[in-house]
């Protein structure tokens, strides 16, 4: 019988051929081998390293992974790629910018760095918090079934933290739009690209929900705004907005002769930006004292500076809860205008009812005009939003909640 290669020889052979033109399924097969072999090869070294409570990653959508890790002691951020709009440091980044000298190494890192890093971290950590729908392996092949099973098989805890389209079903959202008579993110997605209306896309979201429910001990999501195929009870989405970014009292409402209105969409299509532009063009004609500023693809620091000068912030108008920009706006003491409704998203809690001003794409003009007509009400409204964000969306408030939900890091996960 021909001699079988040793695990370390097999691992080296896979890495040597990493940059070859191979299919995604072949890469996934190789990644699984690397994960299994590397786990045992690296296990002895883990005894000499610092133990971790939580690994948070592999995506840092709107800095959620960064904020969650900051809220939980002894956490470790392991990210596939840096977010270009935020200057933050991570404990581990899989993908590095390609250079003339390091092109092949960059390819190896992108294709096979994930399973190597995961093998190392499963040895060192007590649990994983997956932010978004990404994976350390080619997770789209099985919606992370193999990866999650591997983590749980080795006795590690597992938490899923969904942030939007990573779990949302456009088809279910479209059915809700028919019931409510209002468009939403799902209908916007389906109108933009037929792929979001396809059975294949919907089936993938259904499988992702099933896998999450099979392996995760806790799932965080927005039950209605991120309408999905999840069936078991979930935990409300938490924002973890940094306490130090809450602005001190401002005098910007003392003079409202020139009112600054800011809109900073991360995705103009899904935030209703076309409608915002039309409405604001009309409002500026009717009110020469209005200064509309639209920020797209700019550094985060520039957005914060704009909010410090703004009186009104226009968030998103197909959603049932404020986006991260909406929380930022309230934290910087702006009057927030958004389509979020407590009646549509009970996870927000009744305290949110007066924190912002509700408007849809069809009512935005009248709502903004009404705010401009009563400038004396802007400062109290901004203060209401500020207080709600401080009590319910700040890092300190959310840290207490997640610590209570997850309990001691070493607690046994539910099988």
pLDDT value for 87: 79
With 0-12 CB in 10 A as exposed, 13-18 as middle and 19+ as buried, what is 161? buried
Cα 328 to Cα 246, 279, 386, distances in angstroms: 8, 23, 9
Residue 17 CA to residue 22 CA, distance in Å, equals: 9
Burial 215-234 (b: 16+ CB within 10 A, else e): bbbbbbbbbbbbbbbbeeeb
pLDDT value for 104: 66
Residue 44 CA to residue 258 CA, distance in Å, equals: 65
Answer yes or no: are the C-beta atoms of 178 and 187 closer than 8 Å.
Answer: no
Residue 392 CA to residue 1 CA, distance in Å, equals: 66
pLDDT value for 103: 61
Beta-carbon count within 10 A of 101 CB:
7
Q: Which residues of the chain have pLDDT under 50?
A: 1-20, 99-101, 412-415
Query: Is the sign of the CA dihedral 128, 114, 43, 90 positive or negative?
Result: negative
Six token digits for residue 258? 């020139």
pTM of the predicted model, to two decimals? 0.88
Phi, psi of 3 (to 5 degrees): -65, 135
């Amino acid at each position: 019988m021909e001699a079988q290669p040793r695990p370390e020889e097999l691992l080296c052979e896979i890495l040597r051929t990493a940059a070859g033109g191979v299919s995604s399924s072949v890469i996934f097969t190789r990644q699984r081998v690397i994960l299994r072999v590397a786990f045992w090869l690296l296990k002895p070294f883990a005894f000499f390293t610092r133990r971790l409570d939580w690994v948070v990653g592999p995506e840092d959508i709107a800095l959620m992974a960064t904020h969650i890790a900051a809220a939980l002691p002894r956490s470790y951020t392991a990210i596939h790629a840096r977010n270009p709009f935020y200057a933050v440091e991570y404990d581990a980044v899989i993908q590095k910018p390609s250079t003339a000298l390091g092109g092949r190494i960059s390819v190896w890192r992108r294709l096979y760095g994930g399973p190597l890093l995961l093998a190392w971290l499963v040895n060192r950590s007590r649990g994983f918090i997956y932010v978004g729908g990404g994976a350390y392996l080619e997770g789209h092949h099985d919606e992370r079934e193999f990866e999650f099973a591997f983590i749980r098989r080795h006795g590690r805890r597992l938490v899923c933290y969904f942030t939007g389209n990573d779990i949302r079903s456009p088809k279910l959202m479209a059915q809700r739009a028919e019931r409510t008579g209002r468009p939403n993110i799902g209908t916007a997605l389906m109108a933009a690209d037929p792929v979001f209306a396809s059975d294949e896309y919907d089936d993938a979201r259904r499988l992702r929900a099933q896998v999450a429910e099979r392996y995760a001990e806790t799932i965080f999501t927005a039950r209605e705004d991120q309408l999905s195929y999840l069936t078991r009870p979930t935990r409300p989405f938490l924002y973890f907005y940094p306490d130090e970014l809450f602005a001190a009292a401002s005098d910007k409402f003392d003079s409202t002769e020139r009112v600054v209105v800011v809109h900073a969409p991360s995705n103009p299509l899904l935030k209703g930006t076309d409608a915002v532009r039309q409405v604001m063009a009309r409002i500026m004609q009717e009110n020469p004292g209005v200064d509309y500023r639209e920020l797209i693809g700019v550094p985060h620091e520039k957005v914060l500076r704009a909010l410090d000068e703004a009186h009104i912030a226009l968030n998103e108008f197909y959603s049932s809860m404020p986006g991260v920009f909406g929380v930022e706006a309230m934290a910087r003491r702006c009057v927030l205008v958004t389509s979020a409704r407590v009646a549509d998203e009970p996870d927000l809690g009744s305290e949110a009812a007066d924190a912002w001003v509700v408007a849809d794409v069809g009512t935005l003009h009248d709502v903004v005009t009404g705010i401009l007509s009563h400038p004396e009400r802007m400062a109290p409204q901004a203060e209401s939003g500020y207080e709600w964000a401080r009590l319910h969306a700040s890092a300190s408030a959310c840290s207490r909640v997640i610590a209570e939900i997850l309990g001691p890091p070493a607690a046994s996960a539910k099988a």
